[in-house]
Structure 1
C-alpha cells in the first residue's frame, strides 16, 4: 500500500499567517492553481480511495484533485486539524506571549487546553486510522489533511514521541509526501518538508 499525503491548498489565512485550527478560510487563486497542477501530476496514480479531513479547505482540495475521476472521497475525523480554541482567527505573532503558546511550540507533551483535543488525542485518533488502513486491501490511497495532523500521521507511523513533535517542519500547502506499507512495516519514501524545499 502507498499513501500519497497532501496538505490542503493555500488559504487566505495561510497567506496572512493567521491561525485556522478548525475554523476555515477560502482557498486562494494560487491554491486553486496548485490543486490543478497536482491533479495533473497524480493523474496516472490509480487511487482506490481518498481520505480527507472534513474541514472545508481540505475537502475542497480533495474534490479538486479528483475532479474528473470517480474515486470515493471519505471524510475522516482523525485528519482534522488540532483545535486551538480562542487562538483560531488570530495572527500567529499575536499568540506568542501566551504561556500556553510556549507549551504548544516548545513542550507539546505539556500542552493541554481544557475541553479540547491535545497532541496525545490526535496521535490516538491517527493511530486508530492507520490500523484501519493496514487491515484494508487498498493499494493507492490519497490523503488530504492539515499541517499538524499530517505531521502527527508521520510521527505515528515512525514512532516519534509527542515531545519531539516539532523535530521536523510542517509541510507547505500542497506539499506531497509518500509512505509505503510493506511486510508489516511503514516506510517514508518522500517527505514534503524542508529536505524537499517545500516547507515554510
Structure 2
C-alpha cells in the first residue's frame, strides 16, 4: 500500500503567519493554483480512496486534488490539526510571548491544555488510524491533513517520540509525501518539509 500525504493548500492565515489550529481561513489564489498543479501531477495515480481532515482548508484541498474523479473522500477526525485554544487566530510571533509556547515548541511532551487534545492524544488517534489502514486492501490512498497532523503521522510510522516532535519541520503547503506499507512495516519514502520549521 502507498500513501500520498499532503498538507492543505496555503490559506490567508498561513500567509499572515497566523495560528489556525481548528479554526479556518480561505485558501489563497496561489493555494488554488498549487492544488491544480498537484492534481495534474497525481492524475495517473489510481487512488482507491481519500482520507481528509474535516476542517475546511483540508477538505477543499482534497476536493480540488481529485476534481471530478470518482474517488470517495472520507473525513477522518485523526487528521485534524491539533487544537491550540486561545492561540487560534493569533500571529505566530505573538504567541511566542506566552511561556506555554516555549513548552509547545521545546518540550512538546510536557505541553497540555485542560480539555484539549495534546501531542500524545494525536499520536494515539493516528496510530489507530494506521492500524485500520493496515487491515484494508487499498493499494493507493490519498491523505490530506495539516502541518502538525502530517508530521505526527510520519513520527508514528517511524517510532519518533513525542519529545522529539520538532526534530523535523512541518510539511510545506500541498507538499507531497509518500509512504509505503509492506510486510507489516511502514516506510517514509519522501517528505516535503517546509524550510522554516517554526512558522505555520
Question: What TM-score, normalized to structure 2?
Answer: 0.97
The equivalent of 1:77 in structure 2 is: 77
SS in 1 for 2:104: helix
Q: Deviations over 1:62-98 (max 9, x none)?
A: 0000112000000000000000000000000001011
Contact 2:53-2:59 at 8 Å conserved across structures:
yes
Paired residues in the alignment total 198
The equivalent of 1:45 in structure 2 is: 45
2:132 paired with 1:123 = no
For 1:149 and 1:2, locate their aligned partners in 2 and report how far apart those are by CA, in whole Å.
18
The equivalent of 1:148 in structure 2 is: 148
Question: What TM-score, normalized to structure 1?
Answer: 0.97
Contact 1:2-1:181 at 8 Å conserved across structures:
yes
2:164 paired with 1:182 = no
Describe how 1:136-175 pairs up with structure 2 within 5 A: 136-175=136-175
Shift of 1:99: 1.0
Q: Deviations over 1:134-167 (max 9, x none)?
A: 0000000000000000000000000000000000
> What 5-or-longer segments of structure 1 have no aligned partner?
none
For 2:159 and 2:25, locate their aligned partners in 1 and report how far apart those are by CA, in whole Å.
32
- Give the 4+ runs in structure 1 shifted more than 6 A: 197-200
Q: CA RMSD in A?
A: 1.2
The equivalent of 2:29 in structure 1 is: 29
Contact 2:169-2:196 at 8 Å conserved across structures:
no
For 1:78 and 1:178, locate their aligned partners in 2 and report how far apart those are by CA, in whole Å.
18
Contact 1:177-1:190 at 8 Å conserved across structures:
yes
Shift of 1:182: 0.7
SS in 1 for 2:5: strand
The equivalent of 2:55 in structure 1 is: 55
The equivalent of 1:100 in structure 2 is: 100
For 2:164 and 2:27, locate their aligned partners in 1 and report how far apart those are by CA, in whole Å.
30
2:16 paired with 1:4 = no
SS in 2 for 1:82: coil
